[in-house]
């Protein structure tokens, strides 16, 4: 069975033409901009010939890893991989520090500015995180490791592009490699099959049918869409799929990747924000979605609060553990282009801080937890591996739905970038703006202006 291609087209990559192949900046090429430490990729990393790739030959050492794989299925997979690695290489001990996504983001910025850093660290792909750390010289350029371990053969060009920046952090999607992912992600629609049956409706095949479903749920005194948006970022996972109903995919890609040439103030974007505002002020998202925590909302959904939950594929295994066969998942209906388009990408990639004490061992561990064998273990534990996805799909259950939705989006539709990729500050700008839209504190047109100001200021800087 073929290895999955994560994004199927250059458009799905984010509209970046001529994405930089790692071969173009591999050791031995005349890339320029190096810092004299042996990396021809332009960043702070060794050349392939200088790398020790046999963990057994590295002596006794301890690797410190920071991650956010804290939910049940995620935690089970990473724990199993850590144990397997330590069994095979008893000279290396993995000291794991796991924390929530938000806590990890807060701690990472503080840690990378000093010398006491973890050896392995999950870093968000976004410009405000990975891009900023690359610009500051705080991450290790993995280009040499990619050559040494054959990552360009294992991973598709499009997957690697999601972890590539120019060494100055300006260009996203080409340049040097700064991380490697384990999993794929897609945002779609979870639904309770029994609640749809009670409402007398089928899973929506069009957005108009989805809007009608929301109204029928309201009329029946059911909560149409469960959302916990206290942390602000969850709303981006609702708005991204909704936006695709109004805005052409190429325009969303341009906006989401922080490339010049689009406008948040377009009529189509204002229409999308208007629908989100209608959902928020009309009760479709609950009485107080902005006051409800993300990790409170989805467990409440499993207990019967809500007909739909629009969110990421990573929630499926844990929710299925409570809801069983009643939990289903679908890709959003076809969008403005007539094809399925929705937010997605890779799981948070694993990176190596520039000041890591055991960089070669860290790279060997990253190679191990992203191997073909690791993909099998991730699938067995309920995660969605970024490679071999179709081959490893389960026979039934919500993960079968998720794998099929991911396949449909990435091979027949468009996997749109997370909107917080756009600029170093866009996660905060979009999060607070959408929270205001949902709460009725910002009119859609004014919200579009806020988003455009951040995006426009960034892209105008060249």
Instruction: Report the alpha-carbon distance of residue 241 to residue 317 in Å, rounded.
Output: 21
Confidence of residue 462 (pLDDT cuts 50, 70, 90): low
Instruction: Report the alpha-carbon distance of residue 289 to residue 311 in Å, rounded.
Output: 14
- For 13, phi then psi, to 5°, come to -70, -20
The predicted-structure confidence for 436-459, as pLDDT tens digits, reads as follows 999 999 999 999 999 999 999 998
Q: Which residues 6+ apart lie within 8 Å of 22 measured at CB? A: 143, 146, 147, 151, 152, 160, 164, 177
Q: Which residue has the tokens 């067995």?
A: 380
- For 337, phi then psi, to 5°, come to -85, -5
User: Are 171 and 165 within 8 A, CB to CB?
Assistant: yes
The predicted-structure confidence for 384-440, as pLDDT tens digits, reads as follows 888 888 889 899 999 999 988 887 887 788 888 899 889 989 999 999 999 999 999
Q: Hey, what are 88's tokens? A: 């095979």
Indicate the pTM of the whole model.
Answer: 0.73
Amino acid 397: pLDDT: 93
Name the CATH code of domain 10-183+347-391 (choices 3.40.50.2000, 3.30.70.20, 3.40.50.300, 3.40.190.10): 3.40.190.10
Q: Hey, what are 340's tokens? A: 């399925």
Gyration radius of the chain over CA positions: 22
Q: Hey, what are 385's tokens? A: 């591996």
Instruction: Please choose, from the candidates 224, 200, 460, 173, the residue with its C-alpha nearest in 3D space to the C-alpha of residue 345.
Output: 173
Residue 424 burial (CB count, 10 A) = 18
**Assigned architecture for domain 185-345+400-460:** 3-Layer(aba) Sandwich (3.40)
Least confident of 20-34, 172-186, 402-416: 20-34
Widest distance between CA atoms in the chain = 67
Give the per-residue SS3 of the chain: CCCCCCCCCHHHHCCCCCCCCHHHHCCCCCCCCCCCCCCCCCCECCCHHHCCCCHHHCCCEEEEEEECCCCHHHHHHHHHHHHHHHHHCCCEEEEEEECCHHHHHHHHHHHHCCCCCCCEEECCCCHHHHHHHHHCCCEECCHHHHHHHCHHHHCCHHHHHCCEECCCCCCECCCEECCECCEEEEEEEEEEHHHHHHHCCCCCCCHHHHHHHHHHHHHCCCCCECCCCCCCCHHHHHHHHHHHHHCCHHHHHHHHCCCCCCCCCCHHHHHHHHHHHHHHHCCCCCCCHHHCCHHHHHHHHHCCCCCEEEEEHHHHHHHHHHHHHHEEEECCCCCCCCCCEEEEEECCCEECECCCCCHHHHHHHHHHHCCHHHHHHHHHCCCCECCCCCCCCCCCCHHHHHHHHHHHHHHHCEEECCHHHCCCCHHHHHHHHHHHHHHCCCCHHHHHHHHHHHHHHHHHCC
User: Are 314 and 74 within 8 A, CB to CB?
Assistant: yes
Amino acid 380: pLDDT: 87
Query: pLDDT: is 173 or 122 the higher one?
Result: 122
Query: pLDDT: is 35 or 180 the higher one?
Result: 180
Instruction: Report the alpha-carbon distance of residue 199 to residue 222 in Å, rounded.
Output: 9
The residue extents of the domains of the chain are 10-183+347-391, 185-345+400-460
Q: Hey, what are 164's tokens? A: 């590539």
Mean pLDDT of 143-156: 94
Q: Which residue has the tokens 């999950």?
A: 122
Instruction: Report the alpha-carbon distance of residue 80 to residue 90 in Å, rounded.
Output: 15
Instruction: Report the alpha-carbon distance of residue 453 to residue 38 in Å, rounded.
Output: 40
User: Are 394 and 382 within 8 A, CB to CB?
Assistant: no
Least confident of 78-87, 214-223, 415-424: 415-424
Say if 10-183+347-391 and 185-345+400-460 have the same CATH topology. Answer: yes
Confidence of residue 174 (pLDDT cuts 50, 70, 90): confident
The predicted-structure confidence for 307-341, as pLDDT tens digits, reads as follows 999 999 989 989 999 999 999 999 999 999 999 99
Query: pLDDT: is 115 or 269 the higher one?
Result: 269
């Amino acid at each position: 069975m073929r290895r999955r291609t994560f994004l199927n087209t250059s458009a799905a990559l984010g509209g970046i033409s001529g994405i930089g192949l790692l071969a173009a900046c591999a050791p031995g090429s005349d890339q320029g901009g190096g810092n004299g430490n042996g990396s021809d990729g332009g960043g702070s990393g060794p050349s392939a010939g200088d790398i020790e790739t046999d963990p057994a030959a590295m002596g006794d050492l301890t690797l410190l890893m920071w991650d956010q794989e804290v939910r049940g299925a995620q935690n089970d997979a990473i724990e199993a991989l850590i144990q397997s690695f330590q069994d095979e290489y008893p000279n290396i001990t993995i000291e794991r520090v796991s924390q929530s996504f938000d806590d990890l983001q807060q701690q990472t910025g503080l840690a990378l500015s000093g010398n006491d850093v973890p050896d392995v660290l999950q870093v968000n792909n976004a410009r405000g995180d990975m891009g900023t750390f690359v610009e500051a010289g705080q991450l290790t350029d993995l280009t040499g490791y990619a050559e040494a371990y054959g990552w360009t053969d294992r991973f598709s060009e499009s997957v690697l592009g999601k972890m590539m920046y120019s060494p100055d952090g300006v260009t996203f999607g080409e340049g040097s490699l700064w991380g490697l992912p384990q999993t794929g992600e897609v945002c779609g629609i979870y639904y309770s099959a029994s609640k749809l049956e009670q409402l007398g409706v089928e899973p929506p095949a069009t957005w108009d049918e989805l809007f009608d479903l929301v109204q029928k749920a309201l009329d029946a005194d059911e909560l149409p869409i469960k959302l916990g948006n206290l942390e602000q970022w969850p709303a981006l996972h609702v708005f991204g799929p909704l936006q695709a109903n109004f805005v052409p995919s190429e325009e969303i890609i341009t906006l989401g990747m922080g490339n010049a040439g689009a406008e948040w103030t377009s009529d189509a974007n204002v229409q999308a924000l208007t629908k989100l505002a209608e959902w928020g002020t009309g009760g479709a998202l609950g009485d107080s979605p902005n006051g409800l925590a993300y990790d409170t909302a989805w467990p409440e959904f499993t207990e019967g609060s809500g007909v739909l939950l629009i969110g990421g594929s990573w929630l499926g295994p844990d929710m299925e553990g409570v809801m069983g066969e009643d939990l289903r998942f679908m890709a959003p209906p076809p969008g403005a282009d007539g094809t399925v388009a929705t937010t997605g990408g890779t799981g948070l990639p694993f990176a190596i801080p520039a000041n890591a004490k055991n960089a070669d061992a860290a790279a060997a561990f990253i190679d191990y937890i992203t191997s073909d064998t690791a993909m099998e273990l991730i699938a067995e534990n309920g995660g969605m591996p970024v490679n071999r996805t179709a081959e490893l799909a389960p026979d039934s259950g919500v993960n079968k739905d998720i794998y099929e939705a991911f396949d449909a989006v990435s091979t027949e539709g468009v996997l749109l970038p997370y909107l917080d990729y756009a600029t170093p500050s866009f996660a905060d700008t979009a999060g607070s703006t959408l929270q205001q839209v949902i709460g009725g504190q910002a009119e859609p047109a004014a919200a579009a202006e806020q988003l455009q100001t951040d995006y426009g200021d960034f892209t105008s800087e060249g």
